[in-house]
Structures are given as structure tokens and as C-alpha cells.
Amino acid sequence: MLIVGELINSSRKVISNAIDERNEQYIKEIAIEQVAAGADYLDVNCGTTVFREKETMEWLVNIIQEAVQVPLCIDSPNPETLEVGLALCKYGQPMINSITGEKERFRAIIPLVTQYKTKIIALCMDDNGIPETVGERLDVLKNLYINLHENGVSDQDMHFDPLVKPISSVEAAGKEVLDTIKAIKIQYPDVHFMCGLSNVSYGLPNRKVLNRIFMVQTMTLGMDGYILNPTDKGMMAMMTASQALLGQDSYCMNYLAAHRAGLFEE
Ligand code: THG
């Protein structure tokens, strides 16, 4: 299971304030908290700073690495911003978030994957947008798979993101993702996944319940990577319980450790 901590994202008011004030302490605290809570990677996204995205990325990556020694998931659609972040990554194998099947974006980002030997999140979309049906999703992913492979990316380093839509606007959005995971597992058993959970519950009450259950449902079918808030104790407790029930936790050691750490006390 690969956990990417989502909290360093300038779309969150607390982070954009910290960026404006160059509040190093706050960014460092959030980095340390996420790693302590179990994050394997930290996502770094400063997309809302638009014209200053590159210098903000540089500042964030340096500050974060003064606080923690985990690999980073550099999150931007802009190849120049990605390059600034990747060039500064010091610990482990960095991850690019993300590439898509869009021709121009693919062509611009693939050299960075090769140069920095990164892991890569491939979003399930192309120049026609986000596909609707399972069949269309598989076609998009098949093209991405072939093109990534031709460029030397191994199955081990590919993480497919099925792109979750809100069930409040697309009734079958959850089921579409579940069916897509099943189909990908059959055709490409060795590739990995990555998904953000919060989109699924957008526009509905009790979002935490929907996010947590969707995590369990997707994990049951083979989803093995999530971008989420690792400091959400309830979410992490459910994940640990789910892994134990799926036989992914020998002697239930992680489950018991989570219990002792108080993860099951709300
Ligand atoms: N797929 C990929 N990358 C992504 C996403 C994805 N990057 C961005 C996004 N989706 C995932 N990151 C976030 C970051 C912050 C929030 C949601 C998704 C967010 N967090 C709550 C807030 O600030 O109010 C706090 C979270 C909580 O308390 O549970 O809004 O889908 N490849």
C-alpha cells in the first residue's frame, strides 16, 4: 500500500496563507505530522499560485526536505514546475503527478520521467477528456500503457489513477471506477494504482463515510495507492482493518499496533 499525504496543497487556505507568509514552520509541521501518521510520499501542489508556481515549488520542496526524509510526489500539470521540483528531490524515488494521454502533455512530461527515473501517476484521460464507460476507460489506459512502456517505464513505476467523479453528479461514478479496477487487474496484473478519494463524495453530506467506504471497496478489488489525509485517524484505522481482513497484515501486527496507538478511538 502506498500512502501519499495530500495536505500540502495550495488549494487549502491554511497552505496558501503559509505560502504567502513564507511560514516555514507551518509547512514543516504538516510534513512531519503526515509522515508520523504513515505517509510514504508527500504530495506537493502549489497550482493556485499560478504565475509564481515555480518559485513556490522550489521553496516548498526545500523546506519540506529540511523537515522529513521521504520521497515527494510533485503535483502539477506544468512540465516546468515539475522539473523545478524533481531537480531538488533528495530522498528516494520521486513521483510525478501526473501524466495523461493528452498528446502535448505526454510529450512534454515523458523526458522528465526518464531523466529523473521517477514513478509516474497516469490519469485516465486523453484529448477527448475523461471517458464515461469502462470500455472507454480501458482504451485510454491501454494507450497510456503502451506509450509509457515504449518510453522505458516499467509496470512497477506506473500508477493508474481512474479519476474519480462525484456520485452526486454522475450516479454510476463509483461503480465505473470499481469495474475499471477489476478490468485493469485482469489485463495488467503488475501495474499499480493511485487515487484521490475526496472527489467521490463532493456535494453530499457525511463525506467521511463515503470516502472511507469507497476506500474499502476499491482496496478490495486491488487499489493499492491513495492520495489522502493521513492524519484522519478514522480513515487510517479503516485502512488498517481492511488490510488485515484482506490477508495483507501478517499476524494482524499493523492492526494491533494501530489499536495500541489509539487509532480506533474517535
Ligand atoms: N488524483 C491525483 N492527484 C490529485 C488528486 C487526484 N491531486 C490533488 C487532489 N486530487 C488530491 N489532493 C487533495 C488535497 C486536499 C484536499 C483534497 C484533495 C482537501 N482536503 C481537506 C481540506 O483541506 O479541507 C482536508 C482533508 C480532510 O480533512 O480529510 O480538500 O484525485 N493523481
What confidence score (pLDDT) does residue 33 get?
98
**Whose Cα sits closest to atom 6 in ligand 1?**
196
Q: Are 54 and 81 in contact (CB under 8 A)?
A: yes
**Whose Cα sits closest to atom 13 in ligand 1?**
6
CA distance 177 to 170: 12
- Strand, coil or helix: what is 221? coil
Sheet holding 195-196, edge to edge: 192-193, 158-161, 119-123, 95-99, 72-75, 41-44, 2-5, 225-228, 195-196
Confidence label for 53 from pLDDT (cuts 50, 70 and 90): very high
Percent of the chain with pLDDT over 90: 98
Q: Are 103 and 127 in contact (CB under 8 A)?
A: yes
For 54-60, what is the mean pLDDT? Answer: 98
Q: Tens digits of per-residue pLDDT, 119-139?
A: 999 999 999 999 989 999 999
Q: Mean pLDDT for the chain?
A: 97
**Which of 198, 218, 226, 231 to mutate for ligand 1's pocket (most ligand atoms within 8 Å of CB)?**
198
For 139-147, what is the mean pLDDT? Answer: 97
- Positive or negative, the CA dihedral 231, 232, 236, 237 is positive
What confidence score (pLDDT) does residue 50 get?
85
Confidence label for 256 from pLDDT (cuts 50, 70 and 90): very high
- Strand, coil or helix: what is 20? helix
pTM above 0.95, yes or no: yes
Q: Tens digits of per-residue pLDDT, 86-113?
A: 999 999 999 999 999 999 999 999 999 9
**Whose Cα sits closest to atom 12 in ligand 1?**
6
Percent of the chain with pLDDT over 70: 100
What confidence score (pLDDT) does residue 259 get?
97
Confidence label for 266 from pLDDT (cuts 50, 70 and 90): confident
Q: Tens digits of per-residue pLDDT, 80-89?
A: 999 999 999 9
The domains found in the chain, sorted by start residue, are: 2-232 (3.20.20.20), 233-266 (no CATH)
Ligand 1 neighbours (beta carbon < 6 A): 6, 9, 12, 45, 75, 97-98, 121, 161, 194-196, 198-199, 227, 229, 232
